[in-house]
Structure 1
């Protein structure tokens, strides 16, 4: 593996030697593909394009992220920003490598979560856009545009992750392949019409299975927190270490979102109420603003409270997007009754 890691670091050094504008582009791409954006950006946009597609994006995304956490626990993937120091390669003075605020992720590195989760969650949206293009236009080239855009986006995300020293190229490739396979396999099994109890049971199952796997690893002598110590040791700036990059932060996000889908199923819009095109746009804009405001609320310093607040925020998200805000838009857009003539 050392030879593979060394080749990956050399590739990262070549990317970092590019022009400054290209470096800024890679930083923008890696921020855009943050797994949190699936829950706060892609889900509301997809939901107001098509309800089933939106639910599928969120469902596939949370399952992909949970599986990514499990794989990282047991594959022990190194990250370049600490490996170059642990291996002694940085001390030889042959490479000039930079870290960035997004570099210092604390979980293991294999496979790439940005590539795997983004690739899985966006697959239902790509499929829906291809079907829409096929209905509107008979040109084969037009129907291939969504798939080509999806492929180019994942390649850009992968390069951006190598650029910031968050992943080695082989971790990026495995993440892309795993994400595309999960998206293709899971999109047809989205539980759109299930009851709230199904999603509550799914949230509980994800949480308990995560705790069970963590306990099993600890019981067998596996050092489950090794990556957190290495990230803390070799991150250039301690302020760049964020709790939301830890594996249990992902578990809270996934279980909270699964419960949020249950709230969505339990509080649908009243029968006969449908959003028109303008109302969909207004609801989507309100949803994006509301989710950004929700997730910018300060988090408590205590770890237990932090994870609890994170869970609550992601549980509230789908309800805000699919129930509360559309009701508000419908209420505001209803014509006011004319006064009775005397």
Structure 2
């Protein structure tokens, strides 16, 4: 593995030696492609493009993120920003790589979560856009445009993660392949949106299974929190260490989102088909703003346990806001003809 890691460090050195404007580009890409964006931006937008597509985006996103945590716990992948110091291979010939003011990831590095989760969750959206393009155009270029954009996005995200020393290239490749495979495999297996009991049981199952696995690995003598200590030791700025990069934060986000789907499935919704396109656009914009506001208004405690609890509650409220509250609000303001019916 040292050969792969060393090659990855040199590749990151080449990327970081590029022109200054590229630095801003890579930092913007890695920030925008944070897995949180799947839950707070991509899901609301996709939901008001097509309800089933939106639910599929969120479902695949939470399943792939939970699997990413499990993979990381078992694969023990290093991260470049600490491995370059821990390996001791560059003491005589130092390399010109440095960290950037982005969160120092505290979980293991393999596979890349940015690539795996984003790639998996966006697959149903890209498929839907491809089908839409095929209905409105006979041009091959237009039909292939969504998947071309998807491929370029994954490539940009992967390079940005290597640039900020969050991942080695082989971890990025693994994340891209795993994400595409999960997106393709899970798209046709999205649960029905009228099954609140299933989503509630899924929420409980994701949470309890992750806790049980964590405890079992500790009981077996595995130092499962090794990456947190290394990240704390080698992060260039303590302010860059954040709870939201810890693996269990992802578990709480996934379990909370599954519960949010259960709450949304159990809530009556007006028929969106009776709303004009601009009403649906208003729903999408209001939903993104509401979810963003929810995350800004609710405080983030300094205690780890309270942080996990707050994250769970915020992500549980998000799907309910998007799928239940916002459509009813916009539907009421739009005042369509006739009496509303529930889906």
- TM-score, normalization: structure 2? 0.95
- What is residue 59 of structure 2 aligned with on the other side? 59
Distance in 1, matches of 2:25 and 2:308, equals 32
Q: What does 1:35-184 correspond to in 2, within 5 Å?
A: 35-102=35-102, 104-184=104-184
C-alpha distance in 1 between matches for 2:140 and 2:176: 25
Q: Residues 209-248 of structure 1: matches in 2 within 5 Å?
A: 209-248=209-248
Residues in 2 aligned to 1:206 and 1:221: alpha-carbon distance in whole angstroms? 23
Q: Is the 8 A contact 1:81 1:103 kept in 2?
A: no
> Kindly tell me: are residues 66 and 92 of structure 1, through their superposed partners in 2, closer, same or farther at Cα, counting changes over 3 Å?
same
Q: Counterpart in 1 of 2:318?
A: 317
Q: 1:222 to 1:186 in 2, by over 3 A?
A: same
State whether residues 106 and 231 of structure 2, in contact with CA within 8 Å, keep that contact through their aligned partners in structure 1: yes
- Tell me the equivalent position of 2:332: 331
Deviation at 1:90, TM superposition (A): 4.3
1:78 counterpart SS class: coil
Q: Shift in Å at residue 140 of structure 1?
A: 1.7
1:165-220 C-alpha deviation (Å, 9 max, x unpaired): 00000000000000000000000011133421110001011111101111121111
Distance 1:192 1:99 in 2: 44
Compute the displacement of 1:48 (Å): 0.5
Q: 1:196 to 1:4 in 2, by over 3 A?
A: same
C-alpha distance in 1, partners of 2:90/2:105? Answer: 19
- 1:106, distance to aligned residue in structure 2 (A): 0.1
In structure 1, C-alpha distance between the alignment counterparts of 2:109 and 2:272, rounded to whole Å: 48
Structure 2 residue runs without a partner (length 5+): 339-343
Question: Over aligned residues, Cα RMSD in angstroms?
Answer: 1.5
CA contact (8 A) 2:275 2:336 kept: no
Change (3 A) 1:129 1:37: same
Q: What is aligned with 1:252?
A: 252
CA distance in 2, matches of 1:141, 1:293: 38
C-alpha distance 271-35 of structure 1, shift in aligned 2 (>3 A): closer
Match of 1:30 in 2: 30
Q: Distance in 2 between matches of 1:266 and 1:116?
A: 30
| SS state at 2:120 partner | helix
Contact 2:270–2:327 (CA under 8 A) maintained in structure 1: no
**Structure 2 Cα separation of the partners of residues 271 and 165 of structure 1:** 47
Runs of 4+ with deviation above 4 angstroms: none
Q: Deviations over 1:277-333 (max 9, x none)?
A: 111111111111111111123212222221111100000000101110111111112
Whether the aligned pair in 1 keeps the contact of 2:252 and 2:311 (CA below 8 Å) is yes
SS of corresponding position for 1:92: coil
- Residue 119 of structure 1 contacts residue 154 of structure 1 at CA under 8 Å; is this kept in 2? yes
Instruction: Find the aligned partners of 1:104 and 1:335 in 2 and give their Cα distance.
Output: 49
In the TM superposition, residue 150 of structure 1 has moved relative to its aligned partner by: 0.3
Distance in 1 separating the partners of 2:286 and 2:271 = 22
User: Residue in 2 aligned with 1:276?
Assistant: 276
The question of whether the paired residues in 2 share the 8 Å contact of 1:55 and 1:192 is answered with no
- d(CA) in 2 for partners of 1:274, 1:336: 9
Q: CA deviation at 1:271?
A: 5.6
Q: What is the aligned residue count?
A: 337
Q: Aligned partners of 1:301 and 1:11: how far apart in 2?
A: 36
Counterpart-to-counterpart distance in 2, 1:80 and 1:194? 44
